[in-house]
Each structure stands twice: as C-alpha cells, then as structure tokens.
Structure 1
Amino acid sequence: MTLEVWLGYVATVLVLMSTPGPSQILMLSNSMSNGFGRSIATAAGDLTANVLQMLAAGLGLAVLITSSETVFLAVKWGGVAYLVYMGVTKLRMARAKVGIAGTRPSKSLKKLWLDGFVTSATNPKAVIFFASLFPLFIDANQPVAPQLLILGATYVAMDGMFLAFYGKSAEWVARKVSQSGYGLVERISGSAMIGAAVLLGLKDVR
C-alpha cells in the first residue's frame, strides 16, 4: 500500500466520521454522567465491536447479513431496543436524582464497556460498511492481509481519537454543571440515547 493510497483512505474516513453516530452520542452521554476516565471503557467496547466487524467483513459475513432480511432486521432492532432502554433509564434517573445532594452515580466499568460494545455490534450496517470500504483501497497485486491490517488499525485509531474528543468535551461541559443541574444532564443524555436509537432505526443498507 502506497502512502498516497493510505492518505486517501484517511481523508475518506475523516469525512465519514464527521457526523456523530449512535456510538459517538453514547460516548457523550456516558462521559457526562460518569466522567471521561471511566467512559474510556465505553470507547473500548465500541472499538472491540469494530474489530470483530472488520473480521466478519473479511470473512465474508457481510454477504450473509445482506442476503438475509431476517438476520439484518433482528440485529438492527435489537440495537434500537437497547438504546431506547438506556435512554429511558437515564430519564428515570434524572427524575429520581433532581434535588438530591451527593455525587453522581457511576456505572461499573463492565456496564460501560457493554454499552459501547452492544451499541456498535448491533449496527449490522457496520459489517457491510467495512466490506464495501476496504476493497476501494486494496491492491489486488499485493498481499491482502497486511493491507487489511493497516486499514483496520488506522480506522480503530481514528475512531478512538474521535471518541476521546467527544468524551473529553462532554466531561468539560458536565463539570460546568452544578449538582442541582444533574437532572438536566441526565435528561439530555437520555434524550440523546433515544435520538441515537431513532438514527439507528432509520438507517438502511439498501
């Protein structure tokens, strides 16, 4: 893979990542509620799912998902339901915690990781995305495995940086909010989660 091809790939991914998706919205929400440091677990869950999706694309499972409407819809709506559940939970927490003194509740690292993993893993379009994107930058005359490794590692690194930016920005905003405003933060987070569910629900691979 030449430097020019790699730079073209980086530019393409930057454009594709310019609009926040469900995973980025989740990172914003969890960082506001749990702090950036703890929400790194959410980013780790998202990136773990990305790696598995890249492997699935490389093994040709994208064909299975696109050829089976039932499989696609089951995975997709499972993710939508999970995001709605998280959003409703945050809205309920906001109602319960308004006016109560004390520190903000924090999820366990395992739960934060699971949030990121499930949100990303239940987006079946991701497998098709990787299966469609990678061939555009692969030289068929060169060994394919090293090229896939470079493309995959580059994507994971860039996605990680985007998630860190969103998370750190959200933590900064949360620090400016007093404890009395915690309910507002949770309401915003919960609404964002439900909004992310709507975005995922409206996505169409066709």
Structure 2
Amino acid sequence: MTVEVYLIYLAALAAFFVTPPDTSQLLIMSNSLRHGLRRSLWTVAGDLGANVVQMTAAGFGLVAVIATSASVLVWVKWAGVAYLIWIGLSLIVRAPTTDRPGAAPLARRRVLFRQGVFTSAANPYAVVFFGALFPQFIDPASPIVPQLVLLGGTYLLVDGVILILWGYAATRVLSGPLQLSGRMLNRVSGGLMIGAAILLGSRDLAREAEL
C-alpha cells in the first residue's frame, strides 16, 4: 500500500465520519453525561472491541454468509433496538438519587463495556461495510494481513477519537452555563438512548425498503 493510497483511505474515513452522531456516539454521549467521560471510556472500549470482531469476520470472508442470512440480521438488529429503548425508558422514569448535576450513581465498568459491545454488534451490516471498504485500498501484490491490520487499526483509532470527542462535548454541558438537574439529566440521557434506537431501527427499515 502506497502513501497516496493510505491518504485516500484517511480522506474516505473523514468523509464517512462527518455525519450527525450515530448510535454508538449517542450512547457514549449518554453515558458521559451520567458517569463522566473517564468511566465511559469502557463504553468506547466495548464499541471498538465489537468492531475488531466485525473486522475479523470480514477478513475471514464471512461477508457473503451474513449478507444472505437476512432473518438473522433482522433479529440481531431489532434486539439492539429493543435493548436501547429499554435503557432509555428506564432512565426517563427513574427517580434521581440526587439533584446535583453529574452525581448519578456510577455504573459498573463491565456494564458500560457490555453496552458498547452490544450496541456496536447490533449493527451486523458493519461486517459487510468493512468487507466492502478494505478491498478498495489493498494491494493484492503485497502481503494482505499487514494491510488489513493497518486499515483496521487506523479505523479503530479514528473511531475511538471521535467517540471520545462526542463524550467530551456532552460533559461540557455540565460545566457550562446549562446546568442540568438530576431528573433532567436522566431525561436527556434516556432521550439520547432512545434516539440511538430510533436511528438503528430506521436504518434497518430503509434497507428493507430498498430490497
């Protein structure tokens, strides 16, 4: 892979990420609001961990299998939608233990990690995406595995930085002029969760409409 090709790949990633916040980004914003950015890094780790599995699946040629298993994809997608809605509604109806902004009880690290994994894994089309993206930048005359590692590692780095920036932007709300009460914080966090679920479900419906 030449430097020119790698720079084109970076430009493609930049174009891909210049969008309104997606499901994973809304999740990190919600968790950062409630538990702080540092603890929510476990959500980022879970999200990126799921990406590694998806990239590996794409690398092993499972794209065709997943693309033809429409019923499995539908069940996975809507399970993710239901999971996010359940979390969102739970936050909205939950009475705050304190009305001081940013004082929500800290979730366990494994819970935040699991949320990141589940939310990212609930988008199985990511495997198809990686399977379609990476071949565009691979030189078949060179060793394939190092190129896949470079492309995948770059994606994880860019995605991780963007997730952290979204979480940081969310936490700035707490230290800025807009101070959220405990109840309002629950509602905003829950709304972000439900927004993530709606986004996840609408993408699936749009895809089904195209078929």
Fold shared by both chains (TM-score > 0.5):
yes
In structure 2, distance between residues paired with 1:5 and 1:185: 45
Structure 1 residue 100 displacement after superposition: 4.5
- Supply the AA of the counterpart residue of 1:166: W
Residues 1:101 and 1:173: Cα distance change in structure 2 (over 3 Å): closer
Structure 1 residue 99 displacement after superposition: 6.6
SS at match of 1:141: coil
Is contact 2:99-2:181 (8 Å) kept?
no
In structure 2, distance between residues paired with 1:52 and 1:92: 34
Q: Is the deviation greater in 102-111 or in 35-44?
A: 102-111
In structure 2, distance between residues paired with 1:128 and 1:53: 9
Match in the other structure for 2:169:
169
Deviations along 1:24-56, whole A, 9 cap, x unmatched? 000000000000010000000000000000001
Give me the TM-score of the superposition, normalised by structure 2: 0.91
Q: Output aligned runs, 1:115-154, within 5 Å.
A: 115-154=115-154
Structure 1 residue 65 displacement after superposition: 1.4
Matched, 1:196 2:196: yes
- Supply the AA of the counterpart residue of 2:109: L
In structure 2, distance between residues paired with 1:81 and 1:33: 21
Deviations along 1:70-126, whole A, 9 cap, x unmatched? 111111111111111111111122xx1187569321111111111111000111111
Deviations along 1:129-185, whole A, 9 cap, x unmatched? 10110011111111111100000000000001001101111111123354x612112
- Supply the AA of the counterpart residue of 2:3: L
Matched, 1:97 2:96: yes
Unaligned runs of 5+ in 2: none
Matched, 1:65 2:53: no
Structure 1 residue 203 displacement after superposition: 1.5
Q: Output aligned runs, 1:38-53, within 5 Å.
A: 38-53=39-54
Match in the other structure for 1:78:
79
RMSD, aligned CA: 1.7
Is contact 1:22-1:119 (8 Å) kept?
yes
In structure 2, distance between residues paired with 1:143 and 1:83: 40
Q: Output aligned runs, 1:178-197, within 5 Å.
A: 178=179, 181-197=181-197
Match in the other structure for 2:56:
55
SS at match of 1:78: helix
In structure 1, distance between residues paired with 2:51 and 2:60: 14
Is contact 2:100-2:181 (8 Å) kept?
no
In structure 1, distance between residues paired with 2:189 and 2:15: 25
The runs of at least 4 consecutive aligned structure 1 residues that moved more than 6 Å come to: none
Q: Percent identity?
A: 44
Unaligned runs of 5+ in 1: none
- Supply the AA of the counterpart residue of 2:51: N
In structure 2, distance between residues paired with 1:101 and 1:59: 49
Is contact 1:62-1:127 (8 Å) kept?
yes
